[in-house]
C-alpha cells in the first residue's frame, strides 16, 4: 500500500482564522476535501492579532527557531490546532503579524518575504511530518518556491524530495517591489538565476513571477481562466510565462463550502427549502421584499448582486444601463462595498427608483445568505473572473445567475437553451452593457412567460455539484504526478 502524500498548504489567510476574500474561503475549505481524498495535508498561515479568541485559546506551541532574512535573524514561533479534522500551523511573530489587518502596510514586502522564508525553514522542525509537496497560493507565498530552490534544495537532504505547486487565485496582485528588496530583504542579490527570474525591469522585482518560473506545477482556479491568462488582455504582463509553461499549467475550478451554503440547513435564511420542495424559497422571497421595504409580490422578479463594487466586477456595465433595467418590472438589490463612484451611483438610483432599487453599502454575511435565498436572479457581469464563488452559491439556492462568459463564470454556468430547455442560467459574451441588458431581458421573458421552464432551470441549477470533492480529486492527481507511488 502506498503511503499518503504529505502536503503543506501555505496561504496568507484561511477562514475562519483570517479572511479578506476568496483565498480565505479556499484555504479554509479545500484542505478538508483533500484530506478526505486521501492525502495528509497541513495548512500554514500567519498568526494574526485579529484571529478570534476562541481559536487562540486552542493553540498549542510546537517549536520556535530563528530564520535568516537578508542581514536579519528573525524569531519564528510555530503554534498549532486541529480544525474540522485538519492540522493548522500558525507562524507567530508579533512584529509582523500583531496588527489590525492582514494587508496594507508599508513593509508588506518584508512581512510576506518573512512568512515565505519561515515556511521553508519550518519544514525541518515540524514533528512527524516529512513534506512531499509544498502547495503555495498567490503572491504572499510565492517566494517560498524561490527560497526552497536557492537556499534549501542543495543544503539538506530533507528538502531534495520537496516538490512545489503554485496556485494563482488573482493575477491582478503580484507583489511588485523595488529591486533594493532583492539584496536587503531576500538575500538573493548576486544569485543570477533568482535575479533573472524575479526582475521585471531594471528597478523592480515581482514576487509572483518568481513562483511562476520556479514552481514544478502551476494551477489556477478554472479551466477557462487558465486559457485566458495566456493572452495579453488577461495575462497582466505574465502571459508569456504562462504560454511558455503551458505544459505544466492546469485550471481547476474552485468549489464552495456546501455545509455553510446549503439551503436545506441554512439557519440564516427565513425558511429552509430544497430542489424538490421550493415552498421555503417563496417564503424567503417574501421576507427579503419585506426587509428591504419593497412591494411584496411573488410575481415581481427579484434580482440580486453581492460582491465588491469595482470595475472588475462589471460595475461600469451596470452604470451604463441601470436606468433601462429599473424601467422594467423588476426589483434590484445590491449588497457590497467598493469604489466610491459606484457606491454613490447605487445610492442615487435607490433615490430615483425607491419602489424598485435597494443599495446595501456594507458587508453583511447573514444578509448575503438571505439575498441568495430570496432572489430569483443573480447578476454577475465581471470583466474577468478567475473563478467566482457567488454564482455557484446562488445556483445552490435556486437563484439563476446572469453572467459574462469569462473564467469560472463560463465554466460553471450553462446558458439556457430555448430549444431543449436545458441550462442553469443566462450569459452574454462581450464586455458590453447592452449585451448584459439583453441577457437580463431574456431572463425576464422566461421568468414571466415560461414558468414551467423557469422551474426546470432552478432545479437544474440546484442539482449542480459545486462541492470541493471534484477539485480535490484533480489536485490529488497532480500531487501523485509529481510524487509517483514508486518514488514515495
User: What is residue 408's predicted lDDT score, i.e. its pLDDT?
Assistant: 97
Q: Return the CATH number at 150.
A: 3.40.50.2000
Q: Let me know whether 453 and 326 are in one domain.
A: yes
Q: Let me know whether 311 and 380 are in one domain.
A: yes
User: Is 103 contained in some domain?
Assistant: yes
Residue 415 C-alpha cell reads as 446558458
User: Is 55 contained in some domain?
Assistant: yes
Q: Let me know whether 225 and 360 are in one domain.
A: no
User: What is residue 485's predicted lDDT score, i.e. its pLDDT?
Assistant: 66
Q: Let me know whether 157 and 33 are in one domain.
A: yes
Q: Let me know whether 359 and 251 are in one domain.
A: no
Per-residue pLDDT of 159-215, as tens digits, reads 999 999 999 999 999 999 999 999 999 999 999 999 999 999 989 999 999 999 999
Q: Let me know whether 109 and 23 are in one domain.
A: yes
Q: Let me know whether 204 and 296 are in one domain.
A: no
User: Is 17 contained in some domain?
Assistant: yes
User: Is 193 contained in some domain?
Assistant: yes
Question: What are the Cα distances from residue 358, in Å, to 193, 260, 275, 332, 354?
Answer: 54, 26, 28, 6, 7
Q: Which pTM value belongs to this model?
A: 0.93
pLDDT at 61 over 80: yes
Which structural domain, as residue segments, surrounds residue 424?
Answer: 279-463
Positive or negative, the CA dihedral 284, 286, 290, 293 is positive
Average pLDDT of the segment spanning 303-332:
97
User: Is 264 contained in some domain?
Assistant: no
User: What is residue 305's predicted lDDT score, i.e. its pLDDT?
Assistant: 98
Q: Let me know whether 221 and 314 are in one domain.
A: no
Query: Considering its fold, how many domains does the chain have in total?
Result: 2
Q: Let me know whether 37 and 184 are in one domain.
A: yes
pLDDT at 220 over 90: yes
User: Is 450 contained in some domain?
Assistant: yes
User: What is residue 3's predicted lDDT score, i.e. its pLDDT?
Assistant: 74
Q: Let me know whether 195 and 89 are in one domain.
A: yes
User: Is 366 contained in some domain?
Assistant: yes
User: Is 1 contained in some domain?
Assistant: no
Q: Let me know whether 306 and 200 are in one domain.
A: no
Q: Give residue 20's pLDDT band: very low, low, confident or very high (50, 70, 90).
A: confident
Calpha distance 419→442 (Å, rounded): 14
Q: Let me know whether 211 and 333 are in one domain.
A: no
Q: Which has the closest alpha carbon to 14: 1, 3, 28? A: 28
Q: Give residue 486's pLDDT band: very low, low, confident or very high (50, 70, 90).
A: low
Check if the beta carbon of residue 177 is closer than 8 Å to that of residue 210. no
> Bridge-partner residues for 305, per DSSP?
334
Amino acid at each position: 500500500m502506498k503511503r499518503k502524500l504529505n502536503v503543506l498548504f501555505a496561504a496568507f489567510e484561511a477562514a475562519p482564522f483570517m479572511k479578506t476574500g476568496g483565498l480565505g474561503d479556499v484555504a479554509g475549505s479545500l484542505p478538508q476535501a483533500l484530506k478526505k481524498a486521501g492525502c495528509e495535508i497541513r495548512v500554514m498561515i500567519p498568526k494574526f492579532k485579529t484571529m478570534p479568541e476562541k481559536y487562540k485559546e486552542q493553540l498549542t506551541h510546537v517549536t520556535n527557531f530563528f530564520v535568516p532574512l537578508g542581514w536579519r535573524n528573525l524569531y519564528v514561533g510555530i503554534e498549532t490546532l486541529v480544525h474540522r479534522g485538519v492540522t493548522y500551523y500558525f507562524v507567530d511573530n508579533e512584529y509582523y503579524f500583531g496588527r489590525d489587518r492582514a494587508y496594507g502596510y508599508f513593509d508588506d514586502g518584508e512581512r510576506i518575504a518573512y512568512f515565505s522564508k519561515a515556511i521553508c525553514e519550518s519544514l525541518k522542525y515540524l514533528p512527524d511530518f516529512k513534506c512531499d509537496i509544498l502547495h503555495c497560493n498567490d503572491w504572499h507565498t510565492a517566494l517560498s518556491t524561490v527560497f526552497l530552490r536557492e537556499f534549501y534544495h542543495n543544503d539538506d537532504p530533507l528538502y531534495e524530495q520537496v516538490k512545489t505547486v503554485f496556485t494563482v487565485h488573482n493575477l491582478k496582485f503580484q507583489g511588485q517591489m523595488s529591486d533594493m528588496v532583492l539584496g536587503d530583504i531576500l538575500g538573493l542579490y548576486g544569485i543570477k538565476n533568482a535575479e533573472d527570474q524575479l526582475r521585471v525591469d531594471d528597478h523592480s522585482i515581482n514576487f509572483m513571477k518568481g513562483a511562476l518560473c520556479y514552481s514544478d506545477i502551476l494551477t489556477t482556479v478554472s479551466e477557462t481562466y487558465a486559457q485566458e491568462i495566456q493572452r495579453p488582455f488577461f495575462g497582466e504582463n505574465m502571459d508569456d510565462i504562462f504560454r511558455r509553461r503551458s505544459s505544466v499549467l492546469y485550471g481547476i475550478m474552485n468549489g464552495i463550502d456546501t455545509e455553510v451554503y446549503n439551503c436545506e440547513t441554512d439557519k440564516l435564511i427565513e425558511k429552509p427549502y430544497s430542489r424538490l420542495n421550493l415552498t421555503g424559497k417563496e417564503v424567503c422571497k417574501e421576507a427579503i421584499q419585506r426587509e428591504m421595504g419593497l412591494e411584496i409580490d411573488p410575481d415581481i422578479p427579484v434580482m440580486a448582486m453581492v460582491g465588491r463594487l469595482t470595475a472588475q466586477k462589471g460595475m461600469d456595465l451596470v452604470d451604463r444601463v441601470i436606468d433601462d433595467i429599473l424601467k422594467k418590472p423588476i426589483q434590484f438589490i445590491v449588497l457590497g462595498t467598493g469604489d466610491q463612484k459606484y457606491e454613490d451611483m447605487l445610492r442615487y438610483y435607490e433615490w430615483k427608483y425607491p419602489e424598485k432599487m435597494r443599495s446595501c453599502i456594507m458587508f453583511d454575511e447573514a444578509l448575503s445568505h438571505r439575498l441568495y435565498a430570496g432572489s430569483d436572479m443573480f447578476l454577475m457581469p465581471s470583466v474577468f473572473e478567475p473563478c467566482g464563488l457567488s454564482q455557484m452559491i446562488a445556483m445552490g439556492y435556486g437563484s439563476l445567475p446572469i453572467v459574462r462568459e469569462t473564467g469560472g463564470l463560463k465554466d460553471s454556468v450553462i446558458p439556457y437553451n430555448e430549444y431543449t430547455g436545458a441550462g442553469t442560467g443566462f450569459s452574454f459574451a462581450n464586455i458590453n452593457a447592452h449585451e448584459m441588458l439583453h441577457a437580463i431581458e431574456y431572463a425576464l421573458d422566461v421568468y414571466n412567460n415560461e414558468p414551467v421552464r423557469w422551474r426546470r432551470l432552478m432545479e437544474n441549477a440546484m442539482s449542480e455539484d459545486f462541492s470541493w470533492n471534484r477539485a480535490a480529486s484533480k489536485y490529488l492527481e497532480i500531487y501523485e504526478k509529481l510524487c509517483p507511488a514508486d518514488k514515495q
